[in-house]
Amino acid sequence: MFEGFTEEVIDTGQARILVRHGGAGTPVLLLHGHPRTSATWHRVAPILADAGHAVVCPDLRGYGRSAGPEPDEGHVAHSKRAVADDMVEVMTRLGHRRFAVMGHDRGSYVAFRMALDHEDRVSALGVFDGVPLTHHLDEGGTRFALHWWHWFFYAQPDVPERVIGADPDSWYRGDPAVMGAENHAEWRTAVRRPEVIRAMLEDYRAGVTIDADQERADRAAGRRLGMPVLSLWSLRDDLEELVGDPRIVWRRWADRVSGRGIDSGHHMAEEAPDAVARAVVDFLRS
pLDDT digits (tens, 9 = 90+) for 18-53: 999 999 999 999 999 999 999 999 999 999 999 999
Note the pLDDT of residue 212. 98
Q: List for the chain the helix, strand, coil content (%; round to 5).
A: 50, 20, 35
**Residue 12 domain-assigned (yes or no):** yes
Rg of the chain on CA atoms, in Å: 17
| Residues 87 and 21: beta-carbon distance below 8 Å | no
Choosing from 118, 147, 184, 266, the catalytic residue is: 266
Note the pLDDT of residue 269. 98
Helix (H) or strand (E) holding 137: helix 133-139
**Residue 1 domain-assigned (yes or no):** no
Helix (H) or strand (E) holding 229: strand 229-234
CATH of the domain at 244: 3.40.50.1820
Instruction: Write the burial class of residue 16 (CB in 10 Å: 0-12 exposed, 13-18 middle, 19+ buried).
Output: middle
Note the pLDDT of residue 102. 98
Note the pLDDT of residue 40. 98
**Residue 77 domain-assigned (yes or no):** yes
Boundaries of domain holding 206: 6-285
Q: What are the residues whose beta carbons fall under 8 Å from the beta carbon of 241, sequence distance 6 or more?
A: none
Note the pLDDT of residue 99. 98
Report residue 9's pLDDT band, with 50, 70 and 90 as the boundaries.
Answer: very high
Residues 53-89 have pLDDT tens digits of 999 999 999 999 999 999 999 999 999 999 999 999 9
pTM of the model: 0.98
**Residue 55 domain-assigned (yes or no):** yes
**Residue 254 domain-assigned (yes or no):** yes
**How many domains does one find in the chain?**
1
Chain-centre distance for alpha carbon 148 = 17
3 state DSSP class of 71: coil
Decide if 105 is catalytic: yes
**Angle, alpha carbons 74-35-218 (nearest 5°):** 45
Within a 10 A sphere around the Cβ of 255, how many other Cβ atoms? 10
Chain-centre distance for alpha carbon 234 = 15
Note the pLDDT of residue 106. 98
Instruction: Write the burial class of residue 89 (CB in 10 Å: 0-12 exposed, 13-18 middle, 19+ buried).
Output: middle
Note the pLDDT of residue 276. 98
Residues 248-282 have pLDDT tens digits of 999 999 999 999 999 999 999 999 999 999 999 99
Residues 132-189 have pLDDT tens digits of 999 999 999 999 999 999 999 999 999 999 999 999 999 999 999 999 999 999 999 9
Note the pLDDT of residue 80. 98
The CA distance from 171 to 163, in Å, is: 9
Choosing from 86, 105, 117, 218, the catalytic residue is: 105
Decide if 266 is catalytic: yes
